[in-house]
Structure 1
Amino acid sequence: MTMIRRFGLLLAALAVVLPGPARAFWEYGHETVAAIALADVRPTTRLAIRRLLRAAPLLETPTCPARTLAEASVWPDCVKTLGPRFSYAASWHYQDVDICKPFALKPACRDGNCVSAQITRNLALLKDRAVPVRERLMALIFVVHFVGDLHQPLHAGEHDDAGGNRVRAGYGIAAGRINLHMVWDGYLAERAISTPPAGAAGLLAAATPAERAAMAAGSVEDWSRENWEVARDAVYAPVIADPCGAEPARVQLDEARIRAAIPVLRAQVLRGGLRLARLLDEALG
């Protein structure tokens, strides 16, 4: 078990008793999206990724390594601990598109400060061979992480509640200072990805080539709309009778609701990995 994985499990345990928002998709979600993408890209793309990752020392973030795509997938969260150095990227991990209004991406992405706009921006930097290697490496890292973020539904849609961070939640027998965002970021992601067939290989094996191709299709805006719909229909609707009314004091995900949500989140992770692979092939293949 890697040090990053141990840290992710420690965060999951501490979240029951400690306040504060969860990290995006925690480690397991991001690492699995990255693993699916790495398995699905062309060999030439895989080689280009490895060449870029060799430049990781240029980032000068020894406490936040990026030597592998798994490490790179959580680097944008790790560097939040480094103070103001990377604070410019704080708003790039999500987009607050209101589930109670018609889908509108532009108001949530003013000046490009949202996750979908930053996927597009960093993909362009990654494609440009004239960009210095350090900046291309950072672009690779951001694309990998932000595609994962976009497929965590509460990074793509919400209703004036900080992406579910202000909605207190119970998750099975777990209680304490948990919120709805934490559930979908961590607890449910851990359970869904580890449900057999587990991990990146299990998720890939569960889909036919035709299904994978269909999942990988579309644009970043298409994916934004789809994930906004998942937030509305699969995150809020099952636990809040009127998601567009008064904010509930607390919601509860019992075992039946958890089981119903597992295939939803498994599909999200698989879509994220396959779409990331397609973008990386377009940029580096």
Structure 2
Amino acid sequence: MPNRILTTLCGFAALFAFAAPAQAYWEYGHESVARIAWLQMRPDTRARVAALLRQGRLLETPDCPLATIEQASVWADCIKPLGDRFTYAYSWHYQNVDVCKPFDLKAACKDGNCVSAQIERNARLLADSKVPVREKVMALAFLTHFVGDLHQPMHAGDHADLGGNKVAASYGIIAGRTNLHSIWDGWLAERAISTPPAGPAALLAQVSPAERERIASGSVEDWSKEMWGKARDLAYQTLVGDPCGAGPVERQVMDEAKVRGLIPEVRQDVVEGGIRLAKLLDDALGPEGKAPGQKR
């Protein structure tokens, strides 16, 4: 009996040594993107964001508070169990742009029901001085979450498999219902962000002012194409090889070597999301009230 207990404990220890999952991406990853944005945005923008967050009660979602930007970053996921109140937003978290065809955002964003279109829409709402405060608070929460979503490659690229949700995979010894999408959402993102130098401030500190300016440039469509390319060239290929081929017959394993190779890439995705979110907020809440695609 003692040997059996020892074996079980060793198994759990090995699992957590490999994955160390404090929180999954839908919390830790989003919160990290939001904190990087908070650190990167201008002081006047930070004050305006804080003022909006103080009005979070206007959304009447007490179980999904918005007192901090980290809470705002997960609000769009937190409200999913509220049913009919927010079911209209379900398709706003992703865009199924086929990685085996030329990049085509329009086909994946019919009627604006995709993550990139909603990033632009919510930035416009924040920039519009005529929009009521309640709508601005909601726009802030949606925008903060959706920029994080876009910078998780499996929300930006797809091959008729629900962004990798249908691609069965194991993360080390963690198997069961695990798939390519959930690995990038959770285990891999948490491992990357918590790898020393760990945390949002450390990730941002490694990026020079010139590099931050480069990252913040471009359009939401440019960022979408970049992340779509990473879905194809990194997420799919690392695990299943050519996503446009026949595909593996057996469940693939994201082993330690693959994880180590992807850590720098995932850290880059998180810091890019934070810097770009800060840019959108600086523009929308600044004196000119700029939003993507608008000319002032």
Q: TM-score, normalised by structure 2?
A: 0.87
The structure having more radius of gyration, on CA atoms, is 2
Partner of 1:244: 244
Counterpart of 1:237 in 2: which secondary structure?
A: helix
- CA drift of 1:247 comes to 4.3
Counterpart of 1:167 in 2: which secondary structure?
A: coil
Deviations 1:107-145 (A, max 9, x none): 000000000000001110010111110001111111110
Residue 159 (1) aligns with residue 163 (2)? no
Partner of 1:173: 173
- CA drift of 1:242 comes to 2.7
**Can you give the 5+ residue segments of structure 2 that lack an aligned partner in the other structure?**
1-15, 287-296
- CA drift of 1:67 comes to 1.1
Q: Superposed, which structure 2 residues align to 1:1-285 within 5 Å?
A: 25-248=25-248, 249-285=250-286
Deviations 1:5-63 (A, max 9, x none): xxxxxxxx9xx9xxxxxx99310000000000000111110000011111111100011
CA contact (8 A) 1:165 1:180 kept: yes
CA contact (8 A) 1:95 1:157 kept: yes
Could you tell me how far apart the structure 1 residues matched to 2:36 and 2:220 are?
18
Counterpart of 1:170 in 2: which secondary structure?
A: strand
Q: Percent identity?
A: 63
Aligned length: 265
| One-letter amino acid of the structure 2 residue matched with residue 93 of structure 1 | H
CA contact (8 A) 1:109 1:117 kept: yes
| One-letter amino acid of the structure 2 residue matched with residue 56 of structure 1 | G
Could you tell me how far apart the structure 1 residues matched to 2:83 and 2:247 are?
32
- CA drift of 1:246 comes to 3.1
CA contact (8 A) 1:34 1:69 kept: yes
Change (3 A) 1:27 1:276: same
Q: TM-score, normalised by structure 1?
A: 0.90
Could you tell me how far apart the structure 1 residues matched to 2:255 and 2:37 are?
32
Q: Which runs of 4+ in 1 moved over 6 A?
A: none
| One-letter amino acid of the structure 2 residue matched with residue 51 of structure 1 | A
CA contact (8 A) 1:92 1:118 kept: yes
**Can you give the 5+ residue segments of structure 1 that lack an aligned partner in the other structure?**
1-12, 17-22
- CA drift of 1:148 comes to 0.3
| One-letter amino acid of the structure 2 residue matched with residue 62 of structure 1 | P
Could you tell me how far apart the structure 2 residues matched to 1:283 and 1:97 are?
27
- CA drift of 1:173 comes to 2.1
